[in-house]
A and B are shown apart, each in its own frame.
Chain A
Amino acid sequence: MREMISMVVVLTVLSAFSGGMLAAVRTGTQDKIENQVLKFQKAPAIKKILSNVSNDPLQDRFKLTDNDQEITFFVGKVDNKPQAVVLEGKGKGYGGDVGLMVGIDIETDAVIGVWVTTHSETPGLGSRAKDNPDFVSQFSGLGLDKVFAVKNDGGEIDAMSGATITSKAVCMAAKQVQELYLRLKPEIQKQTQQMAN
Chain B
Amino acid sequence: MGDYIVLAISCIFVNNILLAQFLGNCPFLGTSKKMETATGMAMAVVFVLVMAGMITWITDNYLLKPLNIEFLRTVSFILVIASLVQFVEMFLKKSMPALYAGLGIFLPLITTNCAVMGVCLININEEYTFVQAIVASLAYAIGFGLALILFAGIRERVNVARVPQPLQDTSIGLVTAGIIALSFFAFKGMV
Do any CB atoms of chain A lie under 8 A from CB atoms of chain B in the complex? yes
Among B72, B127, B189, point to the contact of A120 (Cβ < 8 A): B127
Quick one: closest B residue to A122, CB to CB? B191
Tell me whether B127 and A96 are in contact (CB under 8 A). Answer: yes
Residues in B50-108 with C-beta less than 8 Å from chain A = 71-72, 75
- Assess the A19–B72 pair: CB atoms within 8 A: yes
Whole-angstrom distance between the Cβ of B126 and the nearest chain A Cβ: 6
A22 pairs with B75, CB closer than 8 A: yes
Q: Are B75 and A18 in contact (CB under 8 A)?
A: yes
Q: Assess whether B75 is in contact with A97, with CB atoms less than 8 Å apart.
A: no
Query: A44 in the interface, Cβ–Cβ < 8 Å?
Result: no
Asked if A95 is at the interface (CB within 8 A of a chain B CB), the reply is yes
- How far apart are the CA atoms of A22 and B133 in the complex, in Å? 28
Q: Which residues of A contact B191 (CB under 8 A)?
A: 122
- Report the Cα distance A78→B75, complex, angstroms: 48
> Are B126 and A22 in contact (CB-based, < 8 A)?
no
- CB-based nearest B residue for A97: B127
Asked if A26 and B71 sit within 8 Å, CB to CB, the answer is yes
Interface residues of A in 1-54 (CB under 8 A from B): 18-19, 22, 26
Q: Which residue of B lies closest to A95 (CB)?
A: B126
Interface contact A96-B71, CB-CB below 8 Å: no
Smallest CB gap from A92: residue in B:
B127
Give the docked Cα–Cα distance between A18 and B72 (Å): 9
Residues of B bordering A, CB below 8 Å: 71-72, 75, 125-127, 189, 191
- In the complex, besides A19-B75, A120-B127, 13 extra interface pairs with C-beta distance below 8 angstroms are A18-B75, A22-B71, A22-B72, A22-B75, A26-B71, A95-B126, A95-B127, A96-B126, A96-B127, A97-B127, A120-B126, A122-B191, A124-B189
